């Protein structure tokens, strides 16, 4: 029995460390969200250019829903990727929606102009869209399938590769 103690302690500590290492190294840009596979909550957005958009009106088209803020450094990094994605996949049926979170509208508009964003962009005026999509911070991006299911959620800046892999199966 005593002979088993040392290997048991060693194996336990090794298992604990392996668990810690896995938690540290697995990366955080693609985490499982309880929303994945569930119907996307409907929302209405008043865009900065005065249009009114409801998610339910976009049924039948894949939707990239991005949360951003002008004060967020990582949002600046991903701005070009999103605009490029919109220009590539917009003509093929995809919809890109940008929701400004906890941001002054003037700053949001300056940010939009600076990075040449042209897709649907508006403020989360009541703060409820962010909460409904389990927002931890910005940027975060949710991919909603044409039938209104949340398929993916990226925490942190979304990459070209992610947009491609999400959208290709659903665009013409």
Partner 1 sequence: MAGALRLLRPLRKSALAIVLGATAAIGMVAMITTAGAVGAQEHGQPGTNPAPANGAGGADRPEALGAASVPGVSGASPTTLDPAEERRAQALEGRLKCPVCRTQSVRESTSFMALEMRAKVRERIAAGDTDEEVLQFFVDRYGDYILLEPRKEGFGLVAYVLPFLAVLSGGVLLVLRVRRARVTRGGPPGGSRAWPGRGDDPAIPDPAALEPAAGERLERELKRYSV
According to DSSP, residue 92 is labeled: G
Sign of CA dihedral 43, 122, 126, 31: positive
10 near partner 1 (CB under 8 A)? yes
Does position 62 interact with partner 1 (CB under 8 A)? The reply is: no
- Strand bridging mode 52-54 / 44-46: antiparallel
Segment contacting partner 1 by CB under 8 A, of 47-55, 79-87, 117-125, 160-168: 117-125
120-123/95-100 β-pairing = parallel
- State how far the alpha carbon of 153 is from the alpha carbons of 107, 140, 145, in Å: 26, 7, 12
* Residue whose CB is less far from partner 1, 94 or 154: 154
From candidates 143, 157, 166, 170, binder to partner 1 by CB under 8 A:
157
Return the bridge partners of 30, or none.
Answer: 154
Of 40, 55, 64, 72, the residue at the interface with partner 1 (CB under 8 A) is: 72
Buried b (16+ CB within 10 A) or exposed e, 132-169: ebebeebbbbbbbbbebebbbbbbbbbbeebbeebbee
CA 68 from chain centre, in angstroms, equals 9
Closest approach of partner 1 to the CB of residue 51, in Å: 17
Q: Which residue among 91, 125, 164, 168 contacts partner 1 (CB under 8 A)? A: 125
Binding span for partner 1 by CB under 8 A among 18-26, 55-63, 90-98, 162-170: 18-26
* 3-state class (DSSP) for residue 14: helix
- Is residue 40 part of the contact set for partner 1 (CB under 8 A)? no
Give the nearer residue to partner 1 in terms of CB position, either 34 or 169.
34
11 binds partner 1 (CB under 8 A): no
Residues found near partner 1 in the complex (CB under 8 A): 1-2, 5-6, 9-10, 13, 16-17, 20-21, 23-24, 28-29, 33-35, 69-75, 100-107, 110, 123-128, 130-140, 155-157
């Amino acid at each position: 029995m005593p002979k088993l103690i040392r290997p048991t302690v060693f194996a336990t500590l090794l298992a604990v460390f392996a668990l810690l290492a896995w938690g540290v190294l697995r990366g955080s840009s693609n985490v499982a969200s309880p929303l994945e596979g569930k119907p996307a909550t409907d929302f209405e957005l008043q865009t900065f250019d005065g249009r009114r958009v409801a998610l339910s009106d976009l049924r039948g088209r894949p939707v990239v829903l991005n949360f951003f803020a002008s004060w967020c450094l990582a949002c600046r990094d991903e701005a070009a990727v999103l605009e490029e994605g919109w220009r590539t996949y917009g003509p093929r049926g995809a919809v890109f929606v940008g929701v400004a979170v906890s941001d002054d509208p003037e700053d949001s508009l300056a940010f939009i102009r600076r990075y040449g964003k042209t897709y649907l962009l508006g403020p989360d005026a009541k703060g409820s869209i962010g909460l409904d999509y389990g927002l931890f911070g910005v940027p975060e991006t949710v991919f909603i399938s044409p039938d209104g299911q949340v398929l993916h959620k990226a925490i942190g800046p979304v990459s070209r590769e992610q947009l491609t892999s999400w959208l290709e199966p659903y665009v013409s």
